[in-house]
Amino acid sequence: MYHSWLDRWDERRARRGEVGKKTTDFILDADRAFPGAGKIASMEEFCVLADQAVADPAFFDEPSESDERFEWKDGWLKFPSDIATDIAPNNVVWAKVIESGSFDRAMVIFHHWNASARNRRIASFFSRRGITVVEIAMPYHFERSRPGSVHADYMLSPNLGRTIQSIRQAVLDGRKLIRWLKSEGYRDISVLGMSLGSWVAGLIAAHDQAVSKASLFLTAGSLA
C-alpha cells in the first residue's frame, strides 16, 4: 500500500513539474560531457565516448586538485563544486545540516528532480534517532538554480552533454561532501536518494567505499 501511495505521489509531482517547461533542440555537446572530446558530430561517435566513460572507473573519481573551502555556519554547509559550469550559482554546493548530537552516523539525502523544498520530515525523523542528516542541493536546484529558470532544466535536458555533466557533477559533489563528513569524524555514512536522487546516490554508493548503506526510492530501470 505504501509503494502504491508513493507511486501516485510521484506521478502528481511529475505533472506539476510540467508547468513552465519549454521544448528545446536536441544537442550532443560532447565536449561538455567528456572534456577534451572536441567536435563530435554523430551519435555513434558520442556513444563511443560514453562506452569509454562507462568502462573507466575513474570517470566518477574526484579530481586530484580540489578546492577545499568548506564553510559551515548556522546549520548550513557551503563548498565549491569541482566541476565549473557556465552558471555561477551552480558552481557552489549548498547543504542543510541537521545535527543529531552524535558523530557516529550521518546520512546524505539526494532529492528528486525539480524538488521545491528539502525533506524536513525525513531529516527530523532520522536526526531524532541519532543520525546527522545532510540534505545536499543537486546541480541547478535550490540555491544552485539557474537565474530566470522555473525548474531544473539544465540538470536533465535535450542537451545530452550537459545532462551527463550534471549527473557527474552531482556524484562528485556528493563524494566530496562524504569525504568532508569523514574528516569531521563520522564513521558510518549512508546515502538516501529519491527518483533522480536515487541515481546519484546509487552511483556514489557504487564508487565510494566510505558509503556503508544506500536507500534508493523510485529508481527507474534506466536513466535514459
Across the chain, mean pLDDT equals: 91
Reported confidence tier of residue 67, pLDDT bands at 50, 70, 90? confident
Reported confidence tier of residue 23, pLDDT bands at 50, 70, 90? confident
The domain spans of the chain are 2-60+68-217
In the predicted structure, residue 10 carries a pLDDT above the cut 80: no
Contact 77, 97 (CB under 8 A): yes
- What span, in angstroms and rounded, lies between the C-alpha atoms of 190 and 210? 9
Q: Quick one: 146 exposed, middle or buried, by C-beta within 10 A (0-12, 13-18, 19+)?
A: buried
Ramachandran angles phi, psi of 67, nearest 5°: -80, 115
pLDDT tens for each residue of 120-168 = 999 999 999 999 999 999 999 999 999 998 889 999 999 999 999 999 9
In the predicted structure, residue 14 carries a pLDDT above the cut 60: yes
In the predicted structure, residue 65 carries a pLDDT above the cut 90: no
In the predicted structure, residue 19 carries a pLDDT above the cut 70: no
Among the residues of the chain, which ranges form H helices? 2-16, 30-33, 43-55, 120-127, 160-183, 196-207
Greatest Cα pair distance in the chain = 54
- What span, in angstroms and rounded, lies between the C-alpha atoms of 210 and 224? 28
Q: Is 138 left (phi over 0), alpha (psi -120 to 50) or beta?
A: beta
Reported confidence tier of residue 24, pLDDT bands at 50, 70, 90? confident
Of 154, 135, 134, 136, which Cα lies nearest the Cα of 145? 154
- What span, in angstroms and rounded, lies between the C-alpha atoms of 94 and 72? 10
- CATH class held by domain 2-60+68-217: alpha beta
Q: Which residue has the cell 522555473?
A: 150
- What span, in angstroms and rounded, lies between the C-alpha atoms of 105 and 95? 17
> pLDDT value at position 127?
94
pLDDT tens for each residue of 189-201 = 999 999 999 999 9
